[in-house]
């Protein structure tokens, strides 16, 4: 069977499931969409994420490179990017921009998805994201029990930082100064770096952090 035939069959399967009258389960979602697709699963319905703009991608790559450098230097666990599906429930799945899982919790990291709450999730809010969508995404991560959530809103120039505090979350909205992770040691960033198109080279930040 040729690659073209396989691609055609996969496309036909996706279309049939998108038109299906029954809610799609998480396992069906994993079987239908692959790493080249940008669909989340919301209440059994596949929903395509909008393409990211250039400034979003530049910040994403910078953060991924920096956090991976910190985690790798200290052998803390694993950092994954925006094509890693996180199971919220049997009918919901999210694709966070960035996630981190501690080394001692690697059992939740599977080949096709993350089955459990990552220790940290970062989302870069896009200009076209509706406020209701952003809050729904945050609510999913809180429901799952993610230890630390960063919602980076470049348009509003604020980082909404949520950290688990018992059964609830402490919440800070930081617009200047330093924002610091409780989950990843050494992760301390100048908030202004996240809102500017000019930011220091990753190697310089790692050096200043003593890594």
The pLDDT tens digits of the residues spanning 15-56 come to 555 566 689 999 999 998 887 788 999 999 999 887 778 889
Task: Give the separation between CA 138 and CA 156, rounded to whole angstroms.
Answer: 17
Stretch 155-178: mean pLDDT, rounded? Answer: 94
Would you place residue 117 in the very low, low, confident or very high pLDDT band (cuts 50, 70, 90)? Answer: very high
Strand order across the 39-42 sheet: 45-48, 39-42, 92-94, 86-89
Residue 12 confidence (pLDDT) above 70: no
68: which 2 tokens? 């991976």
Q: Candidates 3.40.30.10, 3.40.50.300, 3.90.1570.10, 2.40.160.10; correct CATH number of 54-208? A: 3.90.1570.10
CA angle 102, 129, 85 (to 5 degrees): 35
Q: Determine the number of helices (DSSP H) and then strands (DSSP E) in the chain.
A: 6, 12
- By the 8 A CB rule, do 189 and 178 touch? yes
Task: Give the separation between CA 188 and CA 205, rounded to whole angstroms.
Answer: 9
Q: Would you tell me how many other CB atoms lie within 10 Å of the CB of residue 209?
A: 16
- Can you give the pTM of this predicted structure? 0.87
Would you place residue 13 in the very low, low, confident or very high pLDDT band (cuts 50, 70, 90)? Answer: low
Domain assignments of the chain as residue spans, ordered by start: 3-48, 54-208
- Quick one: which H or E segment has residue 170? strand 168-174
């Amino acid at each position: 069977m040729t690659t073209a035939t396989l691609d055609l069959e996969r496309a036909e399967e996706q279309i049939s499931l998108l038109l299906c009258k029954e809610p799609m389960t998480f396992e069906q979602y994993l079987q239908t969409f692959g790493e080249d697709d940008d669909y989340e699963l919301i209440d059994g319905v596949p929903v395509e994420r909008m393409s990211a703009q250039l400034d979003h991608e530049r910040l994403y790559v910078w953060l991924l490179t920096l956090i991976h450098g910190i985690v790798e230097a200290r052998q803390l666990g694993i950092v994954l990017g925006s094509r890693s599906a996180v199971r919220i429930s049997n009918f919901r799945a999210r694709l966070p921009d960035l996630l981190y899982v501690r080394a001692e919790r690697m059992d939740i990291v599977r080949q096709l998805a993350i089955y459990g709450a990552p220790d940290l999730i970062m989302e870069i809010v896009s200009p076209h994201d509706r406020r209701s969508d952003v809050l729904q995404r945050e609510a999913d991560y809180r429901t799952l029990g993610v230890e630390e959530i960063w919602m980076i809103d470049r348009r509003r120039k604020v980082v909404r930082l949520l950290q688990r505090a018992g059964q609830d979350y402490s919440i800070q909205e930081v617009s200047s100064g330093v924002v610091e992770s409780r989950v990843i040691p050494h992760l301390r960033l100048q908030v202004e770096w996240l809102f500017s198109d000019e930011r220091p080279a990753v190697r310089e930040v790692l050096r200043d952090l003593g890594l």
